[in-house]
């Protein structure tokens, strides 16, 4: 993976991890009600679930690329356009409110398990990762260092963002405000647009 692809992948994953979602609500709820360690434990579970999907996507891409052949650049093109469209939608509309998960006392293992199961239960995640990674990864030249890099990017991007949410919630003792959700949503939109532009630029290069 090139430096540009790595940076774009990190930015896109961090932006998507920052979007208001059930996992964010679970992290902040556990951190606000049971303390920062529980928020981090949920974040660890979320990251583990994401790594399962990363493994399925990365190793599945090798087979997919062989079947696609010359069509693979078109997949990257579609992914780039989709990222830009998604970023535009995030910028134009404020996030809708949603219910808060119920906070329950329990062990750190229980918090981590909750994060893992919540992530694995998201049926759209598999489709997302299979559509997302072709924009940044060249399966034909994928090496073990590339796989390690992708794992590192996932851990630091997703885990880092969720941990920041946990820290903020634990410090304030309350969930992130709706006004802050708007700021995060628009910031994530900009990052997705830039990531999509990077993908399109990589397709345009000879």
Tell me: the pLDDT tens digits for 7-18?
888 988 898 888
Do 43 and 166 meet the contact criterion of CB atoms below 8 Å apart? yes
On whether residue 101 sits in a domain, the answer given is no
pLDDT at 103 over 50: no
Q: pLDDT at position 64, please?
A: 59
Is a pLDDT exceeding 50 seen at residue 98?
no
In this prediction, residues 28-48 reach a mean pLDDT of 87
Model pLDDT, residue 133: 72
> So what's the pLDDT on residue 117?
82
Number of domain units in the chain = 1
Using pLDDT thresholds of 50, 70 and 90, give the confidence band for residue 122: low
> Does 196 map to a domain?
yes
Which pLDDT value is given to residue 45?
Answer: 93
Task: Specify the pLDDT at position 157.
Answer: 94
Q: Which residues contact 181 (CB under 8 A, 6 or more apart)?
A: 20, 94, 95
- Cα separation, 150 vs 173, in Å, equals 33
Section 25-35 average pLDDT: 80
State the average pLDDT for the chain.
76
**pLDDT attached to residue 185:** 65
- Evaluate whether residue 36 is within a structural domain: yes
pTM for this predicted structure: 0.69
Residue 150 within any structural domain of the chain: yes
Rounded to the nearest 10°, the torsion over CA 175, 186, 92, 95 is -10
In which domain, by residue range, is 31 found? 3-96+107-204
Residue 156 belongs to some domain of the structure:
yes
| Three-state DSSP state, 159 | helix
Q: Is residue 148's pLDDT more than 80?
A: yes
Do the domain assignments include residue 102? no
| pLDDT surpassing 90 at residue 152 | yes
């Amino acid at each position: 993976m090139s430096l540009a692809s790595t940076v774009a992948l990190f930015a896109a994953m961090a932006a998507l991890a920052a979007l208001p979602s059930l996992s964010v609500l679970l992290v902040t709820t556990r951190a606000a009600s049971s303390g920062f360690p529980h928020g981090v434990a949920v974040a660890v579970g979320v990251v583990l679930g994401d790594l399962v999907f990363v493994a399925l996507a990365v190793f599945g891409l090798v087979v997919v690329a062989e079947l696609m052949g010359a069509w693979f650049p078109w997949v990257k093109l579609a992914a780039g356009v989709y990222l830009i469209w998604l970023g535009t939608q995030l910028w134009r509309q404020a996030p809708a409110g949603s219910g808060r998960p119920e906070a329950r006392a329990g062990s750190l293992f229980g918090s981590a398990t909750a994060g893992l199961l919540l992530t694995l239960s998201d049926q759209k995640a598999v489709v997302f990762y299979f559509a997302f990674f072709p924009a940044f990864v060249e399966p034909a030249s994928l090496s073990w260092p590339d796989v390690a890099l992708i794992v590192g990017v996932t851990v630091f991007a997703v885990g880092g963002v969720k941990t920041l949410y946990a820290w903020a919630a634990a410090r304030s003792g309350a969930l992130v405000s709706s006004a802050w959700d708007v700021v995060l949503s628009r910031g994530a939109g900009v990052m997705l647009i830039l990531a999509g532009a990077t993908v399109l630029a990589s397709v345009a290069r000879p």
